[in-house]
Amino acid sequence: MTETNQSQQTTTDVLLIGGGIMSATLATMIAELEPSWSIRVLERLDRPARESTGPWNNAGTGHAALCELNYTPQAEDGSVDISKAIVVNEQFALSRQLWAFLVENGRLPSPDAFIHATPHMSFVWGEENVAYLRERHRLLSEHPLFEGMLYTEDPEQIRAWAPLLLEGRTDDEPIAATYAVQGTDVDFGALTELLLDSVAERGLTVDFNADVKSVKRDKDGLWVVKGKQDGTKFEHRAKFVFVGAGGRALTLLQKSRIPEIKGFGGFPVSGEFLRTDNPEIVARHHAKVYGKAAVGAPPMSVPHLDTRVVNGKTSLMFGPYAGFSPRYLKHGSLLDMFKSLRWHNLIPMIRSGLANIPLTIYLITQLISRPKTKFKDLLDFFPDAEMKDWQKIIAGQRVQVIRPNGVLQFGTEVITHADGSIAGLLGASPGASTAAPIMFEVLERCFPAQWDGWQPKLTEMVPSHGHKLSTEPGLAREVQKRTAEVLGLDVPDVSDVA
């Protein structure tokens, strides 16, 4: 990547604030669609992907709803809704296709640098939870996007899939699991660096240590972005600005004074994981295993025991343990939340707080829990686990969207100005896994004049663009097979693991 550390005034076609997976994905797409456009990225820290995109700041799950039970909620009558799971699966399929295109065209090196085949499992215990998982599997296995998902209540089969889950476990309660061989583990930090490096070869400029202080519209219609870089003031003018600054996107969009951001607020959630690099333990678990969230827990706090591959080294990670901090970024300020308060979002934030008191209590409880108490959650998954083998790591900060009506939204929200000259992204999970479809939305909403002309190239980049995989089983299978081959996932046939 090209680094510039000189104070300067520049004019660029596209200015991206934030050096995470979202900005890297958008920069990549624009470089393919409009090679002549100038692109600049401003990153507040000394290198890209140090906030939520960093490999140890997230679970690295290629979120395809294969194992995440929060995407298939159960109603009071016992029915299971799989609609969200279908949407998430289709979204991740778009990201996989984009990555495959970039690998095939030499934009990305060996995919082994950022993605690995890792089975996705759901694991539950107790009669009610087993009944829920059984029904969830029945519904999903009938859908073309989830073909091949296996289900069992047999402890020995579960032991064959993930031995740690059964080590030290008694036979006094029913258990069940599903197994999806097509799951993945993704190092979004490595992917982000590779994407930025690739676009840099075609003229992208990345400024590190560039702390944006203001975003304002000039009388000539251009956006003026000002800040400091290594103590020196900078000023950049741009035709289009994207704010992909994680939790800080809210306050930067507020500074732009676009009416579309009015009423939006942010609820920060901090997190921790437990991690082990003990090779004897790591060798006995190759899967991402998700359970059910505790009552009152936010969706991003679904417990899971994961295989992680970072910088070529395999580890296991368990969590997350949720908590509360007023910071909007891991490397942020304790005043972040208070600085985001405006007259137009004060009432929505108060309403959201009053409506989510159980969530607040849960987060505070998690925050003050002793290490031994938290470790008991891991024992539910790995009964023979010992504290000496695990170390605490701090996860990235998540800022959940508070909508103008006061509703706390778990997910992402694209904010665009009416004329498409500025856009930003609020929210979190599934986040990085859905970067491609989110950036498709940004492109369509912000560049309507170019959108139709871009269609052939977009279809080349993502062959299923314009199609709905959930209604085209043949295309869904073709996409799954092709991307697996190109990305080197080497997914075995289901019969090999049954």
Share of the chain above pLDDT 70, in %: 95
pLDDT tens track for 472-497: 999 999 999 999 999 999 765 544 55
Q: Which helix (H) or strand (E) holds 350?
A: helix 346-355
d(CA 50, CA 113): 17
**Are the beta carbons of 475 and 469 closer than 8 angstroms?**
yes
53 Cα distance to chain centroid: 8
Please give the pLDDT value at position 139.
97
113 Cα distance to chain centroid: 18
Q: How confident is the model at residue 311 (pLDDT cuts 50, 70, 90)?
A: very high
Q: Which helix (H) or strand (E) holds 221?
A: none
Please give the pLDDT value at position 8.
63
Please give the pLDDT value at position 206.
96
Does position 6 have pLDDT exceeding 60, yes or no?
no
d(CA 437, CA 98): 10
- Of 266, 293, 299, 298, give the one whose Cα is nearest residue 364: 298
Average pLDDT over residues 362-378: 87
Does position 199 have pLDDT exceeding 90, yes or no?
yes
- Of 270, 269, 267, give the one whose Cα is nearest residue 250: 267
pLDDT tens track for 219-260: 999 999 999 999 999 999 999 999 999 999 999 999 999 999
Q: Measured in Å, how far apart are the chain's first and last C-alpha atoms?
A: 45
**Are the beta carbons of 21 and 49 closer than 8 angstroms?**
yes
Query: Which amino acid appears at position 237 of this protein?
Result: R
Please give the pLDDT value at position 171.
81
Cis peptide before 320 (omega within 30 of 0): yes
Please give the pLDDT value at position 4.
47
Q: What angle do CA 71, 74, 80 make, to 5 degrees?
A: 80
Average pLDDT over residues 196-211: 96
Average pLDDT over residues 363-392: 91
Does position 64 have pLDDT exceeding 90, yes or no?
yes
pLDDT tens track for 398-408: 999 999 999 99
